[in-house]
């Protein structure tokens, strides 16, 4: 079946954060919303059918989770990534961010430093700071082309400070890196050496572009797996964030029980009746849809890449290896601090994420653009950006 990712869908006044919270965040409503990481694309028909069937029954009582649910998660991992997690060690979470917060809470103590690589998804900072821990950040290195890599010397120096946890973004939002098995092995072996628990956020791992291949951190070696908690989810891949469901995969019962004790004490351990059927349908029947989605996203990336090169040389894009978030290097516009996000909103009429939200220092001069939308929206965004930059440059 051929899916249509170019159909515009009106999400206004439908409780979409990307639209209905834009005015509160950007001070105006007349911007193209290309910020928070969900897609302006309808999910896979198989998922809609599963939800419709549940809805038709008209009873939404307490919901039990069958074995087939986590089996679908494990089958998907095996099929897509060649890694078969142990189903007994899969645990439900309301989302990856709640899971990260809980790992921080349960596996470290107030005042501890928690390690991660920046620039990175802003919630990493909050997950740490909200629990009175301190971010211990290591800046990624960047080559002349804008490709990021791990600074292993700085990484090891940070590990010597004995952070109890390293949170890895695998693959990495916002810089679009798909970590290679070798990079993962080096990070993993260093963490094992210094006794640091790894929490690998793999929420973007299905969104592999241009032939790149995801490697689950826990698949790299038995020793690394024994020190890794993996966070996966169908919500980013299939645009289901509003259903709130993720899966954690623990290396052993001890860590699993400690984590679970917290959520069981709040009586939060069941899926809601819609996420239950949606996630299983996604992983059982969504493969063809994802593959076509990836082709659509690649097309959007290439469109932006070519447009910038041809018309806006001041903004540089290193082609992402994964996901639908473009990390735009806008340093050539020479707009320091608040002037850059103000320019994007007030002049280009685009609602993008300010790079500084991903690391106050590493993100300066960058904006993150979400291109998970119909091509027409990307074309409009590029035209608006060109007009604003031309005006600024006196072209």
Ligand X SMILES: Cc1ncc(COP(=O)(O)O)c(C=O)c1O
Chosen residue from 241, 328, 367, 381 binding ligand X by CB under 6 A: 241
Cα torsion 261, 264, 266, 271: sign: positive
33 φ, ψ to 5°? -80, 110
Site mask for ligand X (CB under 6 A), range 57-96, x = bound:
--------------------------------------xx
Q: How far apart are CA 216 and CA 232, in angstroms?
A: 10
Rounded least distance, CB 331 to ligand X, Å: 23
- 203 lies in the site for ligand X, by CB under 6 A: yes
Chosen residue from 81, 173, 205, 219 binding ligand X by CB under 6 A: 173
Rounded least distance, CB 98 to ligand X, Å: 6
- 348 lies in the site for ligand X, by CB under 6 A: no
Chosen residue from 235, 256, 329, 370 binding ligand X by CB under 6 A: 235
Q: Which is nearer to ligand X, 170 or 329 (CB)?
A: 170
- 169 lies in the site for ligand X, by CB under 6 A: yes
CB-based contact 207:177 (threshold 8 Å): no
Site mask for ligand X (CB under 6 A), range 10-49, x = bound:
---------------------------x------------
- How far is residue 145 CA from its own chain's centroid? 23
Q: Which is nearer to ligand X, 91 or 96 (CB)?
A: 96
Comparing C-alpha atoms, which of 184, 285, 273, 292 is closest to residue 234?
285
- 108 lies in the site for ligand X, by CB under 6 A: no
Q: How far apart are CA 18 and CA 39, in angstroms?
A: 9
Q: Which is nearer to ligand X, 37 or 315 (CB)?
A: 37
Chosen residue from 16, 50, 97, 282 binding ligand X by CB under 6 A: 97
Comparing C-alpha atoms, which of 13, 7, 23, 16 is closest to residue 38?
16
45 φ, ψ to 5°? -55, -35
CB-based contact 139:154 (threshold 8 Å): yes
Q: How far apart are CA 344 and CA 339, in angstroms?
A: 9
Rounded least distance, CB 233 to ligand X, Å: 5
Residue 15 CB coordination number (10 Å): 9
Residues in the chain: 395
Rounded least distance, CB 124 to ligand X, Å: 8
Burial environment of residue 27 by CB neighbours within 10 A (0 to 12, 13 to 18, 19 or more): exposed
Site mask for ligand X (CB under 6 A), range 112-141, x = bound:
---------x--------------------
Task: List, in sequence order, every residue forming a beta bridge with 122; answer none if it has no partner.
Answer: none
Burial environment of residue 186 by CB neighbours within 10 A (0 to 12, 13 to 18, 19 or more): middle
Chosen residue from 43, 137, 233, 256 binding ligand X by CB under 6 A: 233
Q: Which is nearer to ligand X, 232 or 329 (CB)?
A: 232
Rounded least distance, CB 38 to ligand X, Å: 8
Contact set with ligand X (CB under 6 A): 37, 95-97, 121, 169, 173, 201, 203, 233, 235, 241, 246
């Amino acid at each position: 079946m051929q899916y249509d990712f170019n159909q515009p869908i009106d999400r206004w006044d439908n409780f979409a954060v990307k639209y209905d919270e834009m005015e509160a965040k950007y001070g105006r409503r007349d911007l193209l919303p290309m910020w928070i990481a969900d897609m302006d694309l309808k999910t896979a028909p198989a998922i809609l059918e599963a939800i419709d069937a549940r809805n038709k029954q008209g009873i939404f009582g307490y919901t039990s989770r069958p074995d087939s649910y986590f089996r679908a998660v494990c089958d998907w991992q095996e099929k897509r990534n060649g890694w078969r997690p142990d189903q007994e060690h899969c645990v439900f979470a309301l989302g990856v961010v709640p899971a990260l917060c809980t790992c921080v809470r349960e596996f470290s103590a107030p005042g501890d430093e928690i390690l991660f690589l920046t620039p990175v998804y802003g919630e990493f900072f909050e997950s740490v700071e909200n629990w009175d821990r301190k971010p211990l950040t290591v800046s990624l290195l960047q080559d002349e082309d804008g490709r990021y890599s791990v600074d292993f010397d700085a990484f090891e120096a940070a590990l010597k400070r004995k952070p109890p946890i390293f949170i890895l973004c695998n693959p990495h939002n916002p810089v679009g890196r798909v970590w290679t098995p070798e990079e993962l092995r080096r990070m993993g072996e260093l963490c094992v050496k210094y006794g640091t628990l790894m929490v690998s956020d793999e929420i973007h791992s299905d969104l592999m572009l241009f032939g790149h291949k995801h490697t689950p951190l826990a698949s790299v070696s038995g020793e690394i797996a024994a020190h890794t908690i993996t966070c996966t989810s169908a919500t980013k891949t299939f645009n289901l964030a509003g259903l709130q469901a993720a899966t954690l995969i623990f290396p052993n019962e001890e860590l699993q029980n400690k984590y679970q004790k917290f959520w069981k004490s709040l009586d939060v351990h069941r899926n809601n009746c819609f996420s239950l059927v949606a996630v299983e349908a996604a992983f059982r029947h969504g493969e063809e849809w994802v593959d076509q989605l990836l082709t659509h996203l690649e097309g959007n990336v290439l469109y932006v890449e070519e447009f910038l090169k041809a018309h806006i040389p001041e903004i540089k894009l290193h082609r992402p290896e994964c996901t639908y978030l473009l990390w735009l290097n806008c340093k050539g516009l020479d707009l320091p601090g608040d002037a850059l996000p103000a320019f994007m909103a007030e002049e280009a009429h685009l609602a993008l994420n300010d790079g500084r939200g991903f690391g106050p220092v590493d993100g300066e001069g960058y904006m993150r653009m979400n291109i998970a939308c119909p091509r027409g929206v990307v074309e409009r965004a590029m035209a608006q950006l060109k007009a604003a930059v031309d005006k600024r440059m006196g072209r």
